[in-house]
């Protein structure tokens, strides 16, 4: 007789709590996310190819893009590639325990509706950046396309163990990290004289800010219902460290270090740094009032102590981290 799989009571409890949030999440689909008819679309920022003057508009775009430093352009490509791996993210979300129990993408549940509408909004980011980069004429688009192909093919594991609590912490962190990355890229584009690209980056960052707020709200509700479980999940996710979604972009290719090279560039030019990582931890600790939570069990109380000092630890690490003297560029002509 085959032995049955042991029941994970912690995960069962987390699934039950997640199901209680379904109505709140459904409300967020209707009030936080934007209807496609009202949402900005990539074509709002790009030359209209039906316009007789489109060629002139492309020339102007290319003139503006000439001033963007290679490091910033490479960082932008890396950001775009991350945005393009959405099939993996929607799949990951729907495999979380308690999120899509029917295993049906047409389910009317709030969580399933959210997973689709959220990734649909995110999909515009990659579409817009991809077309913009193509039109600059400065990017080796075939190399970019091969990286996107490889990243989607490789899949994605944020190490959240199918636990919906850890997933909400991951997405809260990741949306904020992406927002910071796009804001900083926009500032550097502005400095380089490409005000259209700056506006694009800031507009995308605005979407990420809305999504970040929603995920932090979902997690706040979990802290209200199950403070000990939420605290332990937060600690678990932070001990593993947040793995960025594009981490497998080089896996299987001739340049395995692609993600490391990209990360070194974002650190060097200040688009996304070790200090940003530390500040995000502190922001989440403050937002969820981690240090003020009471009534915790012993394990959660230990997690609370760990989390309360974590940002300072990472800030000290960031202070000691040296940006590389030289960085290896990728994806440029």
Hey, which residues are catalytic here? 40, 83, 122, 125, 175, 178, 207-208, 211
Continuous H helices in the chain: 9-20, 22-31, 54-65, 70-84, 86-95, 110-136, 141-154, 164-191, 195-225, 227-240, 258-269, 274-287, 298-320
What secondary structure letter does DSSP report for 332? B
What is the token pair recorded at 3? 């032995």
What secondary structure letter does DSSP report for 292? G
Chain centroid offset of residue 283 CA: 16
Best CA proximity match to 330, nearest among 240, 253, 235: 253
Give the total residue count for the chain.
Answer: 333
The DSSP code sequence of 76-144 is HHHHHHHHHTHHHHHHHHHHSTTT-TT--TT---HHHHHHHHHHHHHHHHHHHHHHHHHHHS-B-HHHH
Q: Cβ atoms within 10 A of the Cβ of 260, count?
A: 12
Chain centroid offset of residue 89 CA: 10
CB 209 within 8 A of CB 179: yes
């Amino acid at each position: 007789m085959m032995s049955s799989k042991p029941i994970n009571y912690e995960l069962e409890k987390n699934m039950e709590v997640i199901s209680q949030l379904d109505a709140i999440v459904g409300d967020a689909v209707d009030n936080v996310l934007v209807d496609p008819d009202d949402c900005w679309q990539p074509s709002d920022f790009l030359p209209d190819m039906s316009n007789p003057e489109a060629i002139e508009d492309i020339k102007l775009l290319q003139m503006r893009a000439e001033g963007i430093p290679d490091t910033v352009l490479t960082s932008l490509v890396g950001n775009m590639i991350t945005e393009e791996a959405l099939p993996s993210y929607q799949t990951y979300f729907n495999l979380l325990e308690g999120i899509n129990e029917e295993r049906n993408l047409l389910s009317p549940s709030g969580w399933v509706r959210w997973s689709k509408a959220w990734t649909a909004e995110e999909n515009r980011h990659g579409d817009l950046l991809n077309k913009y980069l193509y039109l600059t004429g400065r990017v080796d688009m075939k190399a970019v396309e091969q990286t996107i192909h490889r990243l989607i093919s490789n899949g994605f594991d944020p190490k959240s163990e199918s636990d919906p609590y850890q997933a909400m912490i991951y997405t809260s962190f990741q949306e904020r990290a992406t927002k910071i990355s796009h804001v900083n890229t926009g500032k550097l584009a502005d400095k380089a004289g490409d005000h259209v690209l700056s506006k694009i980056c800031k507009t995308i960052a605005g979407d990420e800010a809305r999504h970040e707020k929603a995920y932090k709200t979902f997690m706040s509700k979990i802290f209200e219902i199950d403070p000990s479980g939420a605290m332990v999940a937060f600690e678990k996710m932070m001990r593993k460290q947040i793995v960025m979604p594009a981490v497998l972009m080089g896996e299987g290719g001739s340049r395995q270090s692609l993600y490391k090279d990209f990360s070194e560039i974002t650190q060097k030019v200040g688009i996304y740094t070790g200090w940003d990582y530390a500040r995000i931890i502190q922001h989440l600790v403050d937002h969820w009032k981690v240090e003020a939570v009471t009534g915790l069990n012993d394990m959660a109380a230990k997690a609370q102590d760990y989390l309360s000092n974590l940002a300072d630890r990472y800030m000290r690490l960031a202070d000691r981290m040296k940006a590389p003297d030289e960085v290896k560029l990728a994806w440029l002509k």
